Amino acid sequence: MDVVMLSRLQFAVAVFFHFIFVPLTLGLSILLAYMETRYVMTGDEMWKKQTKFWGKLFIINFTLGVVTGITLEFQFGTNWSRYSEYVGDIFGSLLAIEATVAFFLESTFLAVWHFGWNRVGKKTHLFAIWMVAIAGNISALWIIIANGWMQNPVGYVLRNGRAELDNFLTVVQNPYAWGIYAHTVSSAWMLGGFFVLGVSAWHLLRNADNVFFRRSFRMAAPFTLVMVALVALAGHHQGGTVAQLQPAKLAAMEAQWETEKNAPFHMLLIPDVANETNSVQALSVPGLMSWIAYGDVNAEVKGLKDFPKEDRPPVAPTFWSFRIMLALGGLFALLALVSFVVRNASVKPSRLLKALVWCIPLPYVAIMLGWAVAEIGRQPWIVYNLMRTTDAVSPVPESNVLISLVAFIVVYSALGALDILLLCKYARKGPQE
């Protein structure tokens, strides 16, 4: 393998591992802020207990999220130095803004919240968790604006042999970024909801009368349902944006080889990449593909064959990631709907509860797949239509990258396993005191 492939793999390992922790931080912080708000408003000790129990899991999850994030920021320099030099004027400033606007806020107020239960007043303590929740979601915005610029570079000029900032507002208002932000944040909140539902389900399976987890369940069910709907809406909207801005990605997502009007959507589809066709196409809905992409059943959808081969993204991983994500989305809708319906039932169906426990990892999988679509679908470009991934990599020896990649895989696997074990341990233990 060459330096480019090794560096891509390393970045994929680092970013996917980081993103195990991020969505739960985003989603659970909002739920924690809600729980503590209820506590402060009503004085009900049960809400305090809820905050503390879910807060403990939040903290275990948070730490690894922070430090794996530092690695990511530095990897642009270590492994993608030519990219960094070419686009740092824009991309670097967005990362720096993220740190100054959001990371300080998040880390400082998390410390106040975590260590301050007996040191600050109730209202200050509540304020702290809201700051954590808001800061986390703000940091997601800036990093996604940075990613959005790689997907749809705007507001720049090519000058002095690099991309320089031309209009900051245009960069910040990038429609791609805001669309993917809505999709990412709602899916992270949904993941938080399923996490709470899943852990609660585990306890309710053992004791249907567990008052504590009945309340957690009742709180999370409507939240999760709303989020599933928002994920779908934002995702659909983003599909339209991708159709306009990145037609090659859209074609790869749907394994659309030929350019056609009134393009159908095939429920069952198996692409045959070698022969540039699909070996199975069944359960087709005429015009649905055109409608999804352009809101018009007669619109023309551009096929992969109309793009030069060297400009096409890898079709198989893009297509399958997207398909499996969609299927999981359907499952989430079903689970969230049933959970919502039975949220007040004194005994909830044990099949649902079991499914919720086993489904705790699935929103993570779906989110990873979504990012795989976004990032693999952007290839062969690191900055869409502006810089190729092969031109972006650092001039470092292959051996260095190979060693660090192996180190990443070994260390991250071990830490990930340990972190999950600890989360399980404390999740099973239930609330203390």
Partner 1 sequence: MLETTWFILWGLLWAVYFILDGFDLGLGSLLPFIAKNEGERRIVYNAAGPFWDGNEVWLITAGGVTFAAFPKAYAVMFSALYAPLLILLFALIFRAVSFEFRNKVDSNAWRSLWDGVHFITNFLPALLLGVAFANLFMGIPIDAQGVYQGTLFTLLNPYGLAGGVFFVVIFAMHGALWLAFKSEGALQTRAIGTALILWPVVLLLLLAFLGLSAFYTQLFANYVANPALFIIPVIVVLGLAGVRAFLTSGKILLAWCSSAVFLLGVTFFGVIGMFPGMIMSSLNPEWSVTAFNAASSPLTLKIMLGVALVMVPIVLVYQFWMYRLFSHTLKAEDIKNDSHAY
Residues 159-188 that bind partner 1 (CB under 8 A): 159-160, 162, 164-166, 168
Output the six-digit token pair for 172: 């910040």
Count, residues near partner 1 per rule CB under 8 A: 72
- State the binding string over 383-402 for partner 1 (x if CB under 8 A, else -): -----------xxx---x--
Q: Is 111 in the site for partner 1 (CB under 8 A)?
A: yes
154-191 core/surface letters (b: 16 or more CB in 10 A; e: else): bbbeeeeeebebeeeeebbebbbbbbbbbbbbbbbbbb
Whole-angstrom distance, CA of residue 299 vs CA of residue 46: 55
Nearest to 189 by CA among 222, 150, 149: 222
CB of 168 or CB of 358, closer to partner 1: 168
**Are 240 and 182 in contact, with CB atoms under 8 Å apart?**
no
Quote the least distance from Cβ 99 to partner 1, whole Å: 4
Query: Interface with partner 1 includes 276 (CB under 8 A)?
Result: no
What value does the CA radius of gyration of the chain take, rounded to a whole number of Å?
A: 23
Distance CA(77)–CA(395), nearest Å, equals: 11
Report how far apart, in Å, the C-alpha atoms of 329 and of each of 198, 225, 364, 367, 374 are.
Answer: 16, 12, 12, 10, 16
Instruction: Assess 123 for contact with partner 1 (CB under 8 A).
Output: no
Q: Is 78 in the site for partner 1 (CB under 8 A)?
A: yes
77 contacts 95 by C-beta, under 8 angstroms: no
Q: Which of 82, 218, 237, 388 binds partner 1 (CB under 8 A)?
A: 82
Nearer to partner 1, 101 or 299 (CB): 101
Residue 128 has phi, psi (to 5 degrees) of -60, -45
Binder to partner 1 among 12, 49, 92, 326 (CB under 8 A)? 92
119 touching partner 1, by CB under 8 A: yes
| CA gap 290, 280 in Å, rounded | 20
Structure-token pair, residue 10:
């390393």
State the distance between the two ends of the chain, measured CA to CA, in whole angstroms: 54
Residues 211-240 that bind partner 1 (CB under 8 A): none
Minimum Å distance from CB 304 to partner 1? 34
Question: Comparing C-alpha atoms, which of 262, 245, 266 is closest to residue 254?
Answer: 266
Only segment of 218-226, 282-290, 341-349, 425-433 that touches partner 1 (CB under 8 A): 425-433
Tokens at residue 177, please? 């970024």
Q: Does 122 bind partner 1 (CB under 8 A)?
A: no
Of 31, 32, 87, 372, the one binding partner 1 (CB under 8 A) is 87
Rule CB under 8 A: is residue 262 a binding residue for partner 1?
no
| Choices 183-191, 193-201, 285-293, 410-418; region in contact with partner 1 by CB under 8 A | 410-418
Look up residue 302 and give its amino acid.
K
Q: Is 108 in the site for partner 1 (CB under 8 A)?
A: yes
Residue 51 touches partner 1, criterion: CB under 8 A: no
Asked if 377 touches partner 1 (CB under 8 A), the answer is no
411 binds partner 1 (CB under 8 A): yes
